[in-house]
Structure 1
Amino acid sequence: MRFLPTLALCMGLAGLGGITPPAEAQTTATAIASGQFQDTGPRYQGSGSAVIAQTSDGQTVLQFGDFSVTPGPDLEVWLVEADAPTSAAAVLASSYISLGPLQSATGGQTYGIPSDIDASAYGSVVIWCEDFSVLFSVAPLR
């Protein structure tokens, strides 16, 4: 009698072999540009990769891999036209667009890039403190 629940469970699991992942899990992306986050000074450090990619459904996204940055208040992710700004003044002197608040100070993240934005026109990704106008980290794109 006690083998019946086990048998039922095994029979139920046997039918799971034909399940396929959701379509979004099968989406592939083609890299357009990429770079590595760098420190901008002894107090502000960043590491990890930044990749601008086009997904198979035509969306352009910014993906962070193995990402880490010094935590701070009101951090945002910006695309900046400057190739490798090293100061807040250089960031503000360049054209830029905010992709929104930083999701987390660590880990993989994905940000949508609006369809009316030409991502190839931007030379860097920066982590920017909006409250104090401070450059926390920069990833020059190639």
Structure 2
Amino acid sequence: MKKWKLVIPIAAVAAVLAWYAFRPERLVVNRRVDEAMPAAPSSSSPQPLVAGQFYSILHPTAGTATIYQMGDGSRVLRFTGFSTSNGPDVHVYMVASDDAKDSASVLRAGFIDLGAIKGNMGDQNYILGSDVDLSKYRAVSVWCKRFSVNFGAARLMPDRAMSEK
């Protein structure tokens, strides 16, 4: 009988830790974001530099990633028509490779973390620092930091961005 008095609290703590690690409710709860394109400070409209379609890797992922040059010279990564699975600690990475086709290639190539994803659905913007060299960082990854897995990715190419103009 004394054994149960110890087992039940340990099992309860283990269940809470497992829930926190996996956050299973996030697989069914969507977080929609509908950000407008940032306003250009000058009269010139934002110019697309590179773009690519998201594709699924570990979780269904779709939409378009486009990097725009703003009138003031700053750059913005914009997701449009975006959707992916929700999950714990999901971030947006710029990957130093031609593509981010799997988790190993992202880790091997290196990346810049643009921060936590704003939502798993909808249009959203991420400011790129001036140190992001687009000749080196040519892919975007939707990355789950907690489990080191790549949900989905987009290969960025200049010709797609210019044809969508």
| TM-score after normalising by structure 2 | 0.67
Residue pairs, 1:3-82, within 5 angstroms: 28-41=45-58, 44-82=59-97
Q: Corresponding residue for 2:161? A: none
Q: Partners in 1 of 2:42 and 2:125 — Cα distance?
A: 14
Q: Partners in 2 of 1:104 and 1:67 — Cα distance?
A: 9
CA drift at 1:57: 1.2
Unpaired runs of at least 5, structure 2: 1-38, 158-165
Residue pairs, 1:76-115, within 5 angstroms: 76-115=91-130
CA change 1:23–1:69 in 2 (3 A) is closer
Could you say which structure has the higher strand fraction?
1
Q: Is the 8 A contact 2:98 2:155 kept in 1?
A: yes
Q: Partners in 2 of 1:27 and 1:72 — Cα distance?
A: 38
Q: Which has the larger radius of gyration?
A: 1
CA change 1:27–1:76 in 2 (3 A) is farther
Q: Is the 8 A contact 1:55 1:61 kept in 2?
A: yes
CA change 1:134–1:32 in 2 (3 A) is same
CA change 1:63–1:27 in 2 (3 A) is farther
Q: Partners in 1 of 2:45 and 2:152 — Cα distance?
A: 28
Q: Partners in 2 of 1:91 and 1:67 — Cα distance?
A: 20
CA drift at 1:121: 1.9
Q: Is the 8 A contact 1:32 1:120 kept in 2?
A: no
CA change 1:103–1:90 in 2 (3 A) is same
Deviation by residue 1:20-73 (Cα, 9 ceiling, x = unmatched): xx86596621111100000114xx110000001110111111000010011111
CA change 1:26–1:73 in 2 (3 A) is farther
Q: Is the 8 A contact 1:33 1:52 kept in 2?
A: yes
Q: Is the 8 A contact 1:52 1:119 kept in 2?
A: no
Q: Partners in 2 of 1:37 and 1:48 — Cα distance?
A: 5
Q: Is the 8 A contact 2:40 2:70 kept in 1?
A: no
Unpaired runs of at least 5, structure 1: 1-21
Percent identity, aligned pairs only, is: 37
Q: Is the 8 A contact 1:77 1:125 kept in 2?
A: yes
